[in-house]
Amino acid sequence: ASTTLYEYIPSGFTKASWKAFQDKESKKKAAKGLGRMGPKGFKSRSFQSFQEALERGEAKHMMPVENAEKRIKSGELKLEDIPYMQRGGSWDNSDVKGAKKVSWLKSDKDYANGGFLKEQSVSVFGFGKGLDWTGQRDKTGPSSTERRQGMSVEQAKKYQAPTVSQLKGDVVEKPKKKMFGLF
């Protein structure tokens, strides 16, 4: 017995127009970058780049502007005078037409080319793979460099760190074994 499968197409759409609509919606959704980490409303630069530019005199601290929209409409301020985080733009003013663009440093280019990924790790250790919450990753033990040099695994398990008196060089006599602790 075979089963006939039908595709859902809303009323008012043809098969081709429904496919085109779905493609358009998926492109819109992909452009939002909903799964990415970090701020989504503006394009930032690394703190290192900001510090370098600040020391060169190419950047300054920007404070939020009160009544920004009103002050722009009245001509009191230009759009590029509003901090990029407040206007939802880019730190280099590339989002503002006619504004003077801020030059990129080498550290800005490194950051934009994926250097930010290390800082944006979701690992509880700060960076790297993180904990294997699912148990799906390969199990790894200590590497040979992590083991005590020159010791086998069995010897490393039996190893006892020296005491302070042993490190000072004091000779400590071992107490004599007594029968049942009585004699």
Contacts with 53 (C-beta within 8 Å, 6 or more apart), sequence order: 59, 102, 105
Q: How much is the pLDDT for 126?
A: 61
Q: Which parts of the chain register pLDDT below 50? A: 145
* Token pair 């407040």 in the structure block, residue: 86
Q: How much is the pLDDT for 76?
A: 93
Please state the pTM of the whole predicted model. 0.45
Q: How much is the pLDDT for 93?
A: 87
> Quick check: 115 and 46 in contact, CB under 8 A?
yes
The whole-angstrom separation of Cα 50 and Cα 107 is: 9
Q: How much is the pLDDT for 128?
A: 63
C-alpha dist (Å) from residue 119 to 33, 37, 114, 156: 18, 11, 10, 35
Q: How much is the pLDDT for 21?
A: 96
> Quick check: 99 and 93 in contact, CB under 8 A?
yes
